[in-house]
Chains A and B, each alone.
Chain A
């Protein structure tokens, strides 16, 4: 009987490049920034890494396909390096690969690293996706915001929320993240904005305006994992262990059957339910001290509060407007600014979330440090609400 991975793997080093419009840096430079920091933090040498997972999503810009761009950039010689691509959930997938390698006993040290270089496209937003020769024959074009904006119509119709009330709650989601981004030195957007600016912004995909959409950024993030025993042998006293990593991927139920009402993200519910079980969490709203969720768009963050079970069904609008998820609220969410302001270099984002939880747990979060957190959650979404991937990790201080 499988027992899960709770406390079987420790994170002993993490790194994150500065996110943003990195006109100065190519992908190899971004990878190196994250890698150097993680290696120094872990206190091990490059040659001790026995396996690596490299995550990157958009290969038409960036570095092309395969893991070779990472193994050459980081001079990882002769070890297994795997390429991971699961859309925006890629970063968490790399952590899962490295974690499972250590938990299985196959290796002592594994590296998870994700990077995306999006600002070489020549325009804002993500490049249009290819869905394969068959799907391109029938699937409408549609931007990422269009995929998520539909949650708004589904949510409103399910819960009878007015357009104005929802729009105000969505604005608060972004307002809060802008407040937090100011305190994150590595964040892409470090500027507070007013509620009115958010509400008055140009429409991107109805009802999402410009400020309802996250930044599209260049960046990289990395984690080095090992066993708790080895961590202790390296002299680490306080360290972070992985309590759970779970994924859920659509099988077509949302997009091809009438079993989904368009108001929520089914994968988040599946993955978080299993992650809570793996981590032994029974009351997430009380037990979790902070969460970093996939706020690619404000509506995503809002419905995620219900999908994670930290807001009751239909209560997210009220909870958000009450400040429950603000930095000084009951359950701080996106303390580092989230995708919205820290930025969203796709392949790095899951690891960037883990980086914030890791630093908060270790008391290294500087100006935005929360008081004594011991358990945090990351929520990383790939694809769209109806055809996608949810990846949840739960990280905590080792007992």
Chain B
């Protein structure tokens, strides 16, 4: 039976910042950054991380497809929120995947995602969901701060509806340290670009590519798309030339996103798959202490697959920001005075979180079989005053993709909130449920009663005392820009 990629999806944070704004802030000490000041980069809001972006990318890939057959979930990142708490398990819970699931985190290198993909394709075991999600941080005034971004991509793998099959893969492992980040460190430490180019990319990538093409039994001339992510601009062109690739390497998504670490190979791949025609072949390269090369071929079914939004749409769905310090504060690079209200204790009762996981993680409202009322939260009795039937007979009804609009709202400048003001109000779901929710990524279109909303999975509170972030769903305008 054929096994391969059956779908893809993407997520890029809505928040964007012009690189020129960053360069202008550093002009006094690093005027040369101006040379990198082209386009905008994406950055995570305070409540986004590798886990939340992964959930959004997976939602984009899965859309309304049946997800109960998924038996494997792999999550790649070099910026997991947790060192010991399987990050993939949070994604699985938010996606309401079955309990019968082999889930794992794959990290440690910016080629984590391509390695994970090569392994999963080689294993060819049942339906799998692979997500790569990353938000590498560059130190203020570094080249990386200019070129980095954030984002996530998801691939579904399986035996039915294959849109891209694998023709061959090869990997090499080499202790080549172009950059590194020790555990617990915030920023990457880079070596000289010229050495990375000559001894790294130009020397190592051709070896893996040659081996992969050999296994696929094709030459470089049969490749239509070269997908190679790198934090270094222009490196893909040099590698393409070196391996004899005649075309133009795939778009690095520099404008609107920026290099998204371990997520970037899959994000670029998703962008290629989005416009790929049947029969076209893709050479996917992942680099980091060695190299993965995968040769993929689009099938006829690729014409029939559409993600919910896809890369082009998420890139276009931007909320342009104007303050460099906002980005620094959101990523924890500066400490601001938030006042005593920010001292509120936000310790999570793990017992309650586990007991309530259906409501909190999967955002399940309860649908009363007696009267049909859909309600969140679910308490012991139906909220309909004419019913009050016991909750034991409720059916779970997820609000995750349920159409919704603003009923009431305010912009709260008094509450502690890391992205003031806190937009909060009642979200009315068309199905009848309503609840008070935080509203995020409010753009120039603002917010008003009746405005259509969709849900996003985000960090609810950050318990900085214990180092625990808890997650819940928030609402965001369908159209923010």
A binding-site residues for B, Cβ under 8 Å: 121-123, 125, 127-128, 130, 133-143, 145-146, 149-154, 156-157, 202-206, 208, 251-253, 255-258, 261-262, 386
Are the CB atoms of B414 and A145 closer together than 8 Å?
yes
Are the CB atoms of B340 and A146 closer together than 8 Å?
no
The yes or no answer to B379 lying at the interface (CB within 8 A) is yes
Q: How long is the Cα–Cα vector from A133 to B414 in the complex, in angstroms?
A: 23
Are the CB atoms of B408 and A153 closer together than 8 Å?
yes
Contact residues of B between 32 and 71, Cβ < 8 Å to A: none
Q: Which residue of A lies closest to B346 (CB)?
A: A136
Are the CB atoms of A146 and B412 closer together than 8 Å?
yes
Are the CB atoms of B377 and A138 closer together than 8 Å?
yes
Q: Which residue of B lies closest to A126 (CB)?
A: B414
Q: Which residue of B lies closest to A144 (CB)?
A: B414
Contact of A153 among B339, B352, B410 (CB under 8 A): B410
The yes or no answer to B415 lying at the interface (CB within 8 A) is yes
Q: Would A133 and B349 be within 8 Å (CB), given that A128-B416, A256-B383 are in contact?
A: yes
Are the CB atoms of B340 and A138 closer together than 8 Å?
no
Contact of A205 among B356, B410, B436 (CB under 8 A): B410
Q: Would A258 and B434 be within 8 Å (CB), given that A123-B339, A128-B341, A137-B470 are in contact?
A: yes
Shortest CB distance A251–B (Å): 7
Contact of A149 among B359, B410, B417 (CB under 8 A): B410
Shortest CB distance A207–B (Å): 8
Q: Which residue of B lies closest to A157 (CB)?
A: B449
Give the A-B pair count, Cβ closer than 8 A: 139
Contact residues of B between 371 and 415, Cβ < 8 Å to A: 373, 375-377, 379, 383-385, 407-415
Chain B interfacial residues counted at CB < 8 A: 53
Shortest CB distance B439–A (Å): 9
Q: How long is the Cα–Cα vector from A203 to B341 in the complex, in angstroms?
A: 17
Q: Would A125 and B414 be within 8 Å (CB), given that A140-B438, A256-B383, A257-B432 are in contact?
A: yes
Are the CB atoms of A256 and B414 closer together than 8 Å?
no
The yes or no answer to B433 lying at the interface (CB within 8 A) is yes
The interface residues of chain A lying within 8 Å CB-to-CB of B356 are: 134, 137
Are the CB atoms of A137 and B348 closer together than 8 Å?
yes
Contact residues of B between 432 and 481, Cβ < 8 Å to A: 432-438, 448-450, 460-461, 470, 472
Q: Would A134 and B352 be within 8 Å (CB), given that A141-B422, A150-B425, A253-B383 are in contact?
A: yes
The interface residues of chain B lying within 8 Å CB-to-CB of A204 are: 412-414
Contact of A140 among B383, B437, B448 (CB under 8 A): B437
Are the CB atoms of A257 and B449 closer together than 8 Å?
no
The yes or no answer to B275 lying at the interface (CB within 8 A) is no
Contact of B449 among A149, A151, A153 (CB under 8 A): A153
The yes or no answer to B344 lying at the interface (CB within 8 A) is yes
Are the CB atoms of A152 and B410 closer together than 8 Å?
yes
Contact of B408 among A123, A133, A140, A150 (CB under 8 A): A150
Shortest CB distance B441–A (Å): 15
Are the CB atoms of B414 and A138 closer together than 8 Å?
no
Are the CB atoms of B410 and A154 closer together than 8 Å?
no
Shortest CB distance A63–B (Å): 20
User: Apart from A123-B339, A135-B377, A252-B383, what are 8 other A-B pairs with CB-CB below 8 Å?
Assistant: A137-B470, A138-B435, A140-B422, A153-B410, A156-B449, A253-B385, A255-B426, A256-B375
Q: How long is the Cα–Cα vector from A134 to B344 in the complex, in angstroms?
A: 16
Are the CB atoms of B416 and A141 closer together than 8 Å?
yes
B binding-site residues for A, Cβ under 8 Å: 339-341, 344-346, 348-349, 351-353, 356, 359-360, 373, 375-377, 379, 383-385, 407-417, 421-422, 424-426, 428, 432-438, 448-450, 460-461, 470, 472
Q: Would A128 and B426 be within 8 Å (CB), given that A206-B410, A257-B373 are in contact?
A: no
The interface residues of chain A lying within 8 Å CB-to-CB of B341 are: 123, 125, 127-128
Q: How long is the Cα–Cα vector from A133 to B349 in the complex, in angstroms?
A: 6
Are the CB atoms of B352 and A146 closer together than 8 Å?
no
Q: Which residue of B lies closest to A137 (CB)?
A: B360
The interface residues of chain A lying within 8 Å CB-to-CB of B437 are: 140
Are the CB atoms of A153 and B425 closer together than 8 Å?
yes
Shortest CB distance B389–A (Å): 14
The interface residues of chain A lying within 8 Å CB-to-CB of B411 are: 203, 205-206
Shortest CB distance B237–A (Å): 48
Q: Would A256 and B422 be within 8 Å (CB), given that A123-B340, A137-B472 are in contact?
A: no
Q: How long is the Cα–Cα vector from A139 to B425 in the complex, in angstroms?
A: 11
Are the CB atoms of B421 and A206 closer together than 8 Å?
yes
Are the CB atoms of B359 and A138 closer together than 8 Å?
yes
The interface residues of chain A lying within 8 Å CB-to-CB of B416 are: 128, 141
Interface core residue of A142, A145, A261 (most chain B CB under 10 Å): A142
Q: Which residue of B lies closest to A123 (CB)?
A: B340
Q: Would A150 and B385 be within 8 Å (CB), given that A137-B352, A140-B437 are in contact?
A: no
The interface residues of chain A lying within 8 Å CB-to-CB of B417 are: 141
The interface residues of chain B lying within 8 Å CB-to-CB of A122 are: 340
Q: How long is the Cα–Cα vector from A153 to B446 in the complex, in angstroms?
A: 14
Shortest CB distance A157–B (Å): 4
Q: How long is the Cα–Cα vector from A150 to B360 in the complex, in angstroms?
A: 24
Q: How long is the Cα–Cα vector from A142 to B426 in the complex, in angstroms?
A: 12
Q: How long is the Cα–Cα vector from A138 to B434 in the complex, in angstroms?
A: 13
The interface residues of chain B lying within 8 Å CB-to-CB of A262 are: 407-408, 426
Are the CB atoms of A121 and B414 closer together than 8 Å?
no
Are the CB atoms of B383 and A257 closer together than 8 Å?
yes
Are the CB atoms of B412 and A145 closer together than 8 Å?
yes
Q: How long is the Cα–Cα vector from A154 to B352 in the complex, in angstroms?
A: 33
Are the CB atoms of A142 and B432 closer together than 8 Å?
no
Q: How long is the Cα–Cα vector from A157 to B460 in the complex, in angstroms?
A: 29
The interface residues of chain B lying within 8 Å CB-to-CB of A255 are: 426, 434-436
A to B CB contacts below 8 Å, 12 in the list? A121-B340, A123-B341, A127-B341, A128-B416, A141-B415, A149-B410, A153-B448, A202-B413, A205-B410, A256-B383, A257-B434, A258-B432
Q: Would A128 and B415 be within 8 Å (CB), given that A138-B360, A140-B436 are in contact?
A: yes
Are the CB atoms of B385 and A143 closer together than 8 Å?
no
Interface core residue of B360, B384, B434, B470 (most chain A CB under 10 Å): B434
The interface residues of chain B lying within 8 Å CB-to-CB of A128 are: 341, 344, 415-416
Shortest CB distance B230–A (Å): 40
Q: How long is the Cα–Cα vector from A252 to B384 in the complex, in angstroms?
A: 9
Q: How long is the Cα–Cα vector from A125 to B448 in the complex, in angstroms?
A: 27
Contact of A142 among B345, B373, B407, B412 (CB under 8 A): B412
